[in-house]
Amino acid sequence: MPTRTFPGQYQYLAEIGDFVTQIAKEAGFDSDQVYAVQLAVDEACANIIEHGYGGEGRGDILCSCDSTDEGITIVIKDWGQRFAPDEVPEPDYDVPLEKLQSRGAGLFLMSKLMDDVDFEFGDSDGNTLIMTKRK
């Protein structure tokens, strides 16, 4: 399974995107699906840097991708603060523009763009996010 470790800094998001895009393309996904995979991974890693580590340069992000005939599984690992995914509210667009809370759509996007999104929070072994997209 191709695995790479990236510094938890926003400037590496493009490299992470290139890494998963290449594997999604090789797996035979169409361009819409490749974009969806890239976006879900970007949202996950940006959240890790901002919320998990509480800022840039405070820890690494390990990214593994496994592609099969059925689809692609991406495993993202970090050693930042854990969180409760179920407690993150979904964005509400049924409001006037001035009342819109624009931020916080990352987790929602991940859940809609991927078929499975599962978090595992370990005590000492860090946090693991497993996302799967089927063809």
Partner 1 sequence: MEISTTSYNRCDLVKVVGRIDSNTAPDLDKAFNELIDGGKSGIVFDMAEVDFISSRGLWVLLETQKACKKKKGKLALINVAEDMMESLDLAGVKHFIEIYTDVTAAVGSF
Span interacting with partner 1, options 64-72, 75-83, 93-101, 125-133, rule CB under 8 A: 93-101
Contact string 44-63 vs partner 1 (x = CB under 8 A): --x--xx-------------
Pairing of strands 71-78, 127-134: antiparallel
Quickly tell me which residue has 């974009």 as its tokens. 35
**Does the protein bind partner 1 through residue 39 (CB under 8 A)?**
yes
Span interacting with partner 1, options 6-14, 61-69, 81-89, 116-124, rule CB under 8 A: 6-14
Phi, psi at residue 86, to the nearest 5°? -65, -20
Q: What is the DSSP letter of 46?
A: H
**What is the rounded distance in angstroms from the CA atom of residue 40 to the CA atom of residue 22?**
15
97, two tokens = 């523009």
Residues paired with residue 39 on neighbouring β-strands, in sequence order:
none
132, two tokens = 């799967």
Among 42, 74, 114, 117, binds partner 1 (CB under 8 A): 42
Among 105, 119, 128, 135, binds partner 1 (CB under 8 A): 105
Residues at the site binding partner 1, with contacts judged by CB under 8 A: 10-11, 13-14, 17, 31-32, 34-36, 38-39, 42-43, 46, 49-50, 91, 93, 97-98, 100, 102-103, 105-106, 108-109, 112-113
